[in-house]
């Protein structure tokens, strides 16, 4: 018998012994039960949004952890009813009931992981300064309100319906402003964000997105409970989500 044949027989025998040992071990160890929890149920969500909401390589997936439940629920309904379009999201949530979408929204609203800022390597000092001015003071000459006037001074949003702006990658912010400008992303009327986006130049949008994406967010940071003054514009999406929360449609 050749040396190759002996080695082949030896390997075959070793493989069978290993397979038998694995089978014995598997039979002796019962399968681990998967808990019926929201953490398990939303694993399809975190495949894109990530457990800690870190920016992905292409930076087009937003942070959803910690956003107000009313806002998250409203966006899920927007995907379901066609005001926002992304095939993967639509296919994922289309079979789900509104009540289940509420549970998903509440689950993610209760998570508050830290976020590592994603500063842009090609941001100029002028771009960064312009972005900070737009976010914190706005531009009265263009009738652009400051972001902090609606999204709170900490930019973490306001319960139950105004989203936080921190923890969002620059490319995602730019893409959403573009979608709001051209009507690809719509909100309940009056669509305040579409109005603001149309008043901003492409350079304005990129500057604001660059500054926002570079801001730090600590673990446990939460949305504000209220704004110190009325919002500068009427926002149908905020009124819609706030009404749903007040009526108990979105559980707290």
List binding-site positions: 45, 48-49, 89, 147, 150-151, 193
- As annotated, the binding site for heme c includes 45, 48-49, 89, 147, 150-151, 193
Burial class for 22, CB neighbours closer than 10 Å (0-12, 13-18, 19+): exposed
Calpha distance 151→234 (Å, rounded): 14
Instruction: Provide the β-strand partners of residue 224.
Output: 158
Cα–Cα distances in Å, from 143 out to 97, 134, 137, 200, 213? Answer: 40, 11, 11, 9, 23
Q: What are phi and psi for residue 176, nearest 5 degrees?
A: -70, -40
Calpha distance 163→78 (Å, rounded): 15
Cα–Cα distances in Å, from 186 out to 65, 74, 81, 211, 233? Answer: 22, 12, 11, 24, 16
Residues 6+ apart with CB under 8 A from 218: 114
CA nearest neighbour of 194 among 184, 182, 208, 180:
180
């Amino acid at each position: 018998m050749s040396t190759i044949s002996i080695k082949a027989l030896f390997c075959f025998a070793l493989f069978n012994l290993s397979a038998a040992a694995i089978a014995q071990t598997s039979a002796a160890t019962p399968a681990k039960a998967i808990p019926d929890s929201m953490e398990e149920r939303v694993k399809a969500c975190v495949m894109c949004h990530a457990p800690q909401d870190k920016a992905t390589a292409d930076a087009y997936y937003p942070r959803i952890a910690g956003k107000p439940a009313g806002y998250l629920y409203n966006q899920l309904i927007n995907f379901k009813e066609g005001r926002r379009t992304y095939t993967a999201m639509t296919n994922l949530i289309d079979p789900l009931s509104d009540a289940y979408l509420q549970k998903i929204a509440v689950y993610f609203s209760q998570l508050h992981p830290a976020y590592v800022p994603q500063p842009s390597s090609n941001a100029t000092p002028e771009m960064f300064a312009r972005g900070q001015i737009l976010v914190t003071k706005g531009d009265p000459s263009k009738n652009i309100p400051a972001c902090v006037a609606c999204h709170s001074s900490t930019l973490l949003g306001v319960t139950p319906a105004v989203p936080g702006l921190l923890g969002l990658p620059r490319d995602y912010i730019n893409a959403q402003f573009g979608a709001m400008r051209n009507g690809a992303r719509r909100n309940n009327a009056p669509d305040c964000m579409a109005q603001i986006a149309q008043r901003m130049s492409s350079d304005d949008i990129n500057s604001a997105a660059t500054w926002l994406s570079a801001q730090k967010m600590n673990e446990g940071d939460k949305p504000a409970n209220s704004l110190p003054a009325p919002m500068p514009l009427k926002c149908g999406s905020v009124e819609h989500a706030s009404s749903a929360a007040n009526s108990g449609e979105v559980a707290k």
